[in-house]
Structure 1
């Protein structure tokens, strides 16, 4: 018989106005997943069979209608409609199944079919309509619940009534057991497990409740399904089994291996004051921060549930250091490193000791030195020259004890840490000079002061530093001549100079002393005034002084 068909993509809807064509050679070829309407009454169908990618509609008159490419991997399933009382009837088939007979149920629609001839070349329909509860089991006839009658003879006679067909088998409503022994290969490409032979394996890998991949349990109760793309990020996989009657098992679950490195951290920055590093990363992952370039994390923390992290840097990084951040997931996979630069602040300037007349020191070349007192009041500014030297002369010398604070600023306005000195405007006391025969000069002065020696004409003799106890000594390369006047002054680090002290070199030996006769009880005589008289016996042994 000639059968009419309407075909539209699944994204469209069959209506009464959809054009119809005649099925050629009882084969409908689909180019994509489609809605297919056959001008066939459900009572004319004996059963449905899946044959590879094709759906075969078996008719009671012995004909078959083959719908090629009805099942296509990776596409939404096609939908078959038949016609009852000029309206479409949806045929509910399993979404995916192994080859063989299919169970089906019918869902009447309100849409007019719109075929020129409603029952395929006028084929007789003896049923009274389609019920949504009608079920096809395997190859059982859908019209089995509708009595078929015919009368014999040629009128008026009592004719015989054909016996009703046998009742269809009860529907299968028992769901398969949940799959077991689920496992995912180390490379995330293969899912294996066990289940009821012949059932359809439905794999949901993204948690949306819909199967993303399907397969079939083999006759040995085992299945192996290729996962494409591979699952290597610890995905939670849910697996169910569906039998030919559409019954679905409880879920089985398995976790894919986690071998995928997390994404690199993003929005990584070091705070303006260098005290923290922050950014975004995979929630729950460990953040490692390398601040010294040795490839090892010096600081670690955990990315929060909101995907953000902030880690303290102690001490703060303010010298343009490179900070490298790596994110490591709980499986131990590490992201590529992300590097950022800490702010680059100038180093603190160096200040020389000062007596308040000049403030000087060194800093980075070109930096501006800002000077303030201990209360923050401005004193002045200077710019370090190409060698880093700088100095500032106040209009009035600063008073003794004034605190001077200095910071160095670059052209971007970044300021260094503070350096400080206290003005020392008090000169050291005059040094003390011991008498000298010209071979050595010594004495005492302010501890740490510089002792400068000159002759009576102001010519330099030498310079030495008083030790922590204030003692000092200087040995000329050639002993000073008798009568040489030596002037000595002490200068402190602030540039203050003491009053001078003076000594005259005495390089002449005293005249020999005169000894009075003695009975041994007392030894007396005369010598140079102030000289020390030393007494020894004939063997040189000391007697007294």
Structure 2
């Protein structure tokens, strides 16, 4: 505005200009929480976890703005920027708040923004929990080992739980987000989860609660999915049945074992009563024993229940038989070619076990009629143990059979058989007898001599022998032996005849008649160069007659001969003149020997003539040689 003055003369004058502003209004935009501060689930809900959130301010430039929080003037600023913001100087507490602006321009115009209600929420402390899965509480899902188990994955599983009201729930399984749901105003939530997420084994499940301010609270769970018994095997110790499913036993304590899930409980159930339990060990093996199973055939149940509550059962037919069969009846009928024919009766279809004293074992299955027979090689001692074993393994009492097959043999000891070995003729009046062909279990051996019985002995080498304690008189004896074993079996030997002959007549030797032909017929001088001798007093049982002839220090032995005229000896060659000493030796079949007295015989087959010498060329003596006188004549040489 300016003023112009004009006088009458027409002169004008102008005043300085005056700037006058007409301002009748002002403006201020409504406050809004900027994007960085509206940090909750939603970016436009004015809910934040920041205690000093930032708000936008937009109004008439260069004008003064009053800021009211919760109705209280907290600050005054000047608008200097179209994108100006405001952040409280002091933190705001959790809860609901409001903010508005009042702008006053220089003309005194004022304007008030709308009130912005906002929420400060800096924590989410309401516990996050799963209350149930699939309609079962976690307590109901907790196994015997304290773990939480899901045992049914055939349908969607509804997870239910609690958390901060109006927060968002996320379920994360093994790192995979499987779904989201809002918590209602009462703090409850439910969400179905597809069963495809539930694989067998351990699951790491996180339930995450995020409130609208973005505060997070979560709870982690380890849950195991175990929908079935993965392994369960069973067997009985020493099953006597050929079937793996049918069990036979004769034990007083029955032991069962097998494989199963670690930590699972195996129960033995009979007629609805649990008799024994076992827990599967860390190596997957289980074992249980019971002594409460009665005799008979019936069904038993083996049940396994794992920690998750899964169950599986096996039913077995069991046959308990602890009653042994009756002892077999055993006889024997004959021994043929070292085979004993054994027979008898025993429990039908049982196994007959025959063990001999050599340790050999023979078996047979008893026929349905219970009668049996078997040919078995005869052992060294003739002992047998026979046992019946039924199909389930019960053993009868042992039956012992002790037989003696071998017939003893008695013979003269070679040292006592003084004559021809084997002829049982001896000069030994206390001969030793050897008893052989005895079975090794013989304990008593007796020798019968003409009806008188004596006990034999056994030497350190195990050989039985007998030597009479007193000398036997000469003569023949019938001798046999009786062998007895510990079982009372006896065998008699065949008798032998033994002759005791301890005497022999002393023989004599003499020139035969007509051989002693010198001057005297008793001077044992003969001119025969092969004289004949007669041997007298020769017993009939002699087996050897020899003549010993000694001449000039040399002794020769000749066999005498026996003819119709008795025993004689004639030198096999002519003897030279001289003296010969003869004796005869006789030996009988018992080995007795006698020698005659010596006989000195002179052979003189030449004549010596002595005469005076009549001629100078003649020798002093003359000798006639080989002059044989005529029979019955005497010739004198002169």
TM-score over 0.5 (shorter chain): no
Larger radius of gyration: 2
TM range (shorter): 0.3 to 0.5
Higher-strand-fraction structure: 2
Q: TM-score, normalised by structure 1?
A: 0.37
Q: TM-score, normalised by structure 2?
A: 0.33
